[in-house]
């Protein structure tokens, strides 16, 4: 694992960039990155933008924590050709604590949390209940695996990080300032770059689960990053189709799909110089928006400064539009599809897929037999109509 210094080349670059870009809100904010360790050895990184001068190095985690969980295992499903991960220690993870016991709020003298500092801007730390980790010994807590060739397994090596977007417990991603969204983009870039360098990591996945309805156990605004030791099944399938398309038709499947959506225009909901947001033609979810850069890049670190700035605008805009459709808090999953770390980087096309299971006020879409058992999605709404609604709402305020 690469060592992370307290004041970095990264920050130096930030200082340089902020002078070069024109629109001050979109400009790369000054970010100070500070690395520390929690009581059980997990890494924690402060990304300070508001309190740029703050020195977080002296905030020490004084909790007595049990040792880090043993690693997970992964088993290969021969029938579907997919890895399934088993992380037993997650069964006892923190579950819907009251707001006064939120582990993602800053620490106070009387209540230490996961974040030792008494304030923070954006903070990233290794998940205490990780699906993947750098622990290498699953032996203590699991049965010995079987030797039969049908039963292939491996250690669930990788890394799972939590990204707290703000110290404000009651905020949401869509209520963040544009500058903070820009910082979060830079954090995704930094983490994708760093985690891609870890031994055995094949794909880095930045995402946000929001809402109790989809199982979120902590309401503090936060996202997650999974560094998988394999290329995920949905990415594998998209790449297979992109490979076949390139061979049979020529061109890039994702790029041609984006061009087709732009040419049609029916499902486009918002665009700017560098990004396009649309409801896909064959959307699976009652609310689903895909966000593509106009220029194909494999992953977030490959975005230019201008593209990152423009992303902050449109990403927040899309979330606000989606949330404006219902008066209830919107449960959603926001997911970044990035190229595998080591292959198919010429085929993949970085994009975000943001979707919700809300299908009507008070009603949710559930994945029942057809979806869960057969993979055959049945939607109750026409994507073109959803796009029209999202186009018409105001994305300028949270």
By CB under 8 A, what part of segment 370-389 binds a second copy? 370, 372-384
In angstroms, rounded to a whole number, what is the distance separating the alpha carbons of residues 350 and 335? 11
Span 174-233, contacts to a second copy by CB under 8 A: 205, 207-209, 214-216, 224, 226, 228, 230, 232-233
Span 5-64, contacts to a second copy by CB under 8 A: none
3-state secondary structure of 87: coil
Asked if 88 is part of the footprint of a second copy (rule: CB under 8 A), the reply reads yes
Asked if 159 is part of the footprint of a second copy (rule: CB under 8 A), the reply reads no
Extract the tokens encoding 336.
Answer: 């970044």
Q: Which stretch binds a second copy (CB under 8 A): 25-33, 43-51, 148-156, 311-319?
A: 148-156
Asked if 337 is part of the footprint of a second copy (rule: CB under 8 A), the reply reads yes
Asked if 103 is part of the footprint of a second copy (rule: CB under 8 A), the reply reads no
- Minimum distance, C-beta of residue 27 to a second copy, in the bound complex (Å): 30
Q: Of 207, 173, 169, 177, whose CA–CA distance to 191 is shortest? A: 207
Q: In the set 65, 137, 151, 168, which binds a second copy (CB under 8 A)?
A: 151
| Phi, psi values for residue 123, rounded to 5° | -135, 145
Asked if 237 is part of the footprint of a second copy (rule: CB under 8 A), the reply reads yes
3-state secondary structure of 389: helix
Which distant-in-sequence residues (6+ apart) come within 8 Å of 282 by Cβ? Answer: 383
Asked if 303 is part of the footprint of a second copy (rule: CB under 8 A), the reply reads no
Asked if 248 is part of the footprint of a second copy (rule: CB under 8 A), the reply reads no
Asked if 271 is part of the footprint of a second copy (rule: CB under 8 A), the reply reads no
Angle at 268 between CA 330 and CA 250, to 5 degrees: 120
Q: In the set 282, 327, 361, 397, which binds a second copy (CB under 8 A)?
A: 282
For the sheet containing 268-271, what is the strand order? 32-37, 43-48, 122-126, 159-164, 222-228, 203-210, 332-337, 351-356, 287-293, 275-278, 268-271
Give 20 or 374: the residue with its C-beta nearer to a second copy.
374
- Minimum distance, C-beta of residue 42 to a second copy, in the bound complex (Å): 19
Q: Is the CB of residue 238 less than 8 Å from the CB of residue 367?
A: no
Give 229 or 309: the residue with its C-beta nearer to a second copy.
229
- Minimum distance, C-beta of residue 277 to a second copy, in the bound complex (Å): 16
Q: Is the CB of residue 120 less than 8 Å from the CB of residue 180?
A: no
Positions annotated as catalytic residues are 222
């Amino acid at each position: 694992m690469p060592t992370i210094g307290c004041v970095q080349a990264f920050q130096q670059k930030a200082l340089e960039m902020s002078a070069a870009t024109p629109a001050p809100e979109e400009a790369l904010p000054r970010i100070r990155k500070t690395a520390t360790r929690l009581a059980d050895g997990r890494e924690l990184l402060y990304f300070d933008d508001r309190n740029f001068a703050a020195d977080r190095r002296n905030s020490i985690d004084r909790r007595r924590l049990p040792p880090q969980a043993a690693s997970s295992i992964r088993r290969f499903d021969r029938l579907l050709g997919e890895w399934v991960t088993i992380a037993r220690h997650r069964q006892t993870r923190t579950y819907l604590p009251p707001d006064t016991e939120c582990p993602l709020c800053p620490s106070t003298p009387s209540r230490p949390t996961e974040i030792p500092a008494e304030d923070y801007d954006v903070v990233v730390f290794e998940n205490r209940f990780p699906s993947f980790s750098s622990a290498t010994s699953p032996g203590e807590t699991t049965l010995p695996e079987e030797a039969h060739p049908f039963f292939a397994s491996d250690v669930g090596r990788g890394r799972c990080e939590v990204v707290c977007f703000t110290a404000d417990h009651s905020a949401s991603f869509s209520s963040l300032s544009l500058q903070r969204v820009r910082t979060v983009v830079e954090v995704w870039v930094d983490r994708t770059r760093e985690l891609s360098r870890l031994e055995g990591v094949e794909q880095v996945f930045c995402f946000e689960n929001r809402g109790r309805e989809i199982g979120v156990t902590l309401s503090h605004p936060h996202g997650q990053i999974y560094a998988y030791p394999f290329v995920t099944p949905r990415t594998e399938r998209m790449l297979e189709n992109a490979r076949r398309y390139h061979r049979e038709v020529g061109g890039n499947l994702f790029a041609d799909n984006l061009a087709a959506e732009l040419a049609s225009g029916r499902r486009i909901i918002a665009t700017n110089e560098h990004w396009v947001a649309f409801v896909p033609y064959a959307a699976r979810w009652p609310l689903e928006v895909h966000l593509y850069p106009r220029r194909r890049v494999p992953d977030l670190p490959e975005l230019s400064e201008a593209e990152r700035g423009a992303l902050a605008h449109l990403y927040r805009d899309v979330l606000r539009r989606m949330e404006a459709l219902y008066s209830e808090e919107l449960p959603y999953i926001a997911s970044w599809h990035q190229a595998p770390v080591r292959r198919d980087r010429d085929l993949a096309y970085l994009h975000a897929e943001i979707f919700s299971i809300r299908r009507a006020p008070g009603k949710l879409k559930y994945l029942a037999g057809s979806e869960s058992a057969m993979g055959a999605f049945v939607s109750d709404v026409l994507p073109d109509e959803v796009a029209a609604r999202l186009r018409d709402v105001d994305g300028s305020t949270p």
